[in-house]
Amino acid sequence: MIKKTLIAASAISLSAFALTACGAGADSPDSDSDDTIVMGFAQVGAESGWRTANTKSIQESAEDAGIELKFTDAQGKQENQIQAIRSYIQQKVDVIAFSPVVETGWDAVLQEAKSAGIPVILTDRAVDSDDTSLYESFLGSDFVVEGEKAGQWLVDNAGDADVDGDGTINVVQLEGTTGAAPAIDRADGFADVISADPSIKVTASQTGDFTRDGGKKVMESFLQSDDTIDVVYAHNDDMGLGAIEAIKAAGLTPGKDIMIITVDAVHDGMQALADGEINYIVECSPLLGPQLMEIAQKVVAGEEVEERILTEETTFTQAEAKEALPDRQY
Ligand code: AHR
């Protein structure tokens, strides 16, 4: 593609994008003058610590790989992501990557990219489409497995989780963004595994949109209407951290009066786990940048890539968090 100067990886708002995104259009005067790869990346937003770490990983890895990155922040809106992808198609970037806000509604814009001959790589989140020819590869976690791991820990620790000793474990669930793959899959995986133990029941479930503030508000309303909550299952650390604030404000001790299970293992979550305020975290790694750049280089070179590339991840107990914290990168 075009563009002699490398690496313009900057986080800019979508409205600013149209005006300021630099370089690399097909009409640029230096078009085809070198072989620098230009990637358009449409990010979900900045809703969580996980997302911030993911954006940093992508921007730094692009720079390391000598890939010019055009970056947009869709501020949690699918229409913004679609607009960004259309803009990348117009600019004739070499490759488009994105993490879909929600699972459905992508076929039309992905078909436009395909017709323009621009390969698409999905990172972090999947799309729900029957046509897998619309993208080259999907790099990210198995969110169903993450939900299963969370559920399995609860089943294995059901005795401790029944804090009030009434024989029933009442779980409230803080869901991620409605319609997003991690919200759907983490709920499914968890529900599937806890169904093995009839004493565990999800008594309330509501979206906190993967944000700390959302988790806090939803937990406040759960606490106002129910004083029998034993466990919070939050689809990410940020909502779990918001729930901790609400639990403390209600005069209860998080991690003791109410157990908390979360997903992500970002630094603040790990600190709360080490401090005993969260009880268990299922890791979801945001460090997808290096692998994404490798896949992009292969795709642009016309090499075969795997259709599904799974991220490796683990789980953390309180003791394991204390040990891992000093070396945690994010
Ligand atoms: O898609 C990954 C999820 O999105 C993370 O678990 C959550 O924190 C983020 O907002």
236 Cβ inside 6 Å of ligand 1: yes
Q: Which residue has 């914290």 as its token pair?
A: 325
What is the spatial distance between Cα 234 and Cα 53, in angstroms, rounded to a whole number? 19
Band of pLDDT at residue 8, cut at 50, 70 and 90:
very low
pLDDT for 33 equals 52
Please check the confidence at residue 19 and state whether its pLDDT lies above 80: no
H or E stretch including 185?
helix 181-194
Share above pLDDT 90 across residues of the chain, in percent, rounded to a whole number: 86
What is the spatial distance between Cα 168 and Cα 217, in angstroms, rounded to a whole number? 25
For 215-273, what is each residue's pLDDT tens digit?
999 999 999 999 999 999 999 999 999 999 999 999 999 999 999 999 999 999 999 99
pTM, rounded to two decimals: 0.90
User: Integer distance in angstroms from the first to the last C-alpha of the chain?
Assistant: 33
- Which amino acid is residue 303, in one-letter code? E
In ligand 1, the atom with minimum distance to the C-alpha of 177 is: 10
3 Cβ inside 6 Å of ligand 1: no
In ligand 1, the atom with minimum distance to the C-alpha of 49 is: 8
Distance (Å) from CA 176 to ligand 1 centroid: 8
Q: CATH for 14-141+286-312?
A: 3.40.50.2300
Band of pLDDT at residue 166, cut at 50, 70 and 90:
confident
How large is the average pLDDT for residues 164-189?
96
Show the CA angle centred on residue 37, arms to residues 32 and 39, nearest 5°: 120
186 Cβ inside 6 Å of ligand 1: no
Which residues does residue 138 pair with via DSSP β-bridges, in sequence order?
122, 308
10 Å CB burial of residue 311 (0-12, 13-18, 19+) is middle
DSSP readout, 49-78? HHHHHHHHHHHHHHHHHT-EEEEEE-TT-H
pLDDT for 131 equals 96
| More confident site: 47 or 26 | 47
141 Cβ inside 6 Å of ligand 1: no
Band of pLDDT at residue 25, cut at 50, 70 and 90:
very low
Please check the confidence at residue 27 and state whether its pLDDT lies above 50: no
Band of pLDDT at residue 24, cut at 50, 70 and 90:
very low
Distance (Å) from CA 210 to ligand 1 centroid: 7
Q: Which CATH class is domain 143-284?
A: alpha beta
CA 299 to each of CA 43, 138, 161, 176, 306: distance values in angstroms, whole numbers, following the listed order: 20, 12, 48, 31, 10
Distance (Å) from CA 1 to ligand 1 centroid: 32
Can 14-141+286-312 and 143-284 be said to share one CATH topology? Answer: yes
Q: At what angle do helices 267-274 and 237-249 cross, to 10 degrees?
A: 50
For 133-161, what is each residue's pLDDT tens digit?
999 999 999 999 999 999 999 999 998 98
- Delimit the domains of the chain by residue range: 14-141+286-312, 143-284
For 109-118, what is each residue's pLDDT tens digit?
999 999 999 9
71 Cβ inside 6 Å of ligand 1: no
Ligand 1 pocket check: which of 124, 138, 241, 267 to mutate, most ligand atoms within 8 Å of Cβ? 124
Q: Are residues 74 and 45 in contact, defined by beta-carbon separation less than 8 angstroms?
A: yes
pLDDT for 26 equals 35
What is the spatial distance between Cα 13 and Cα 17, in angstroms, rounded to a whole number? 6
Q: Residue 116: helix, strand or coil by DSSP?
A: coil
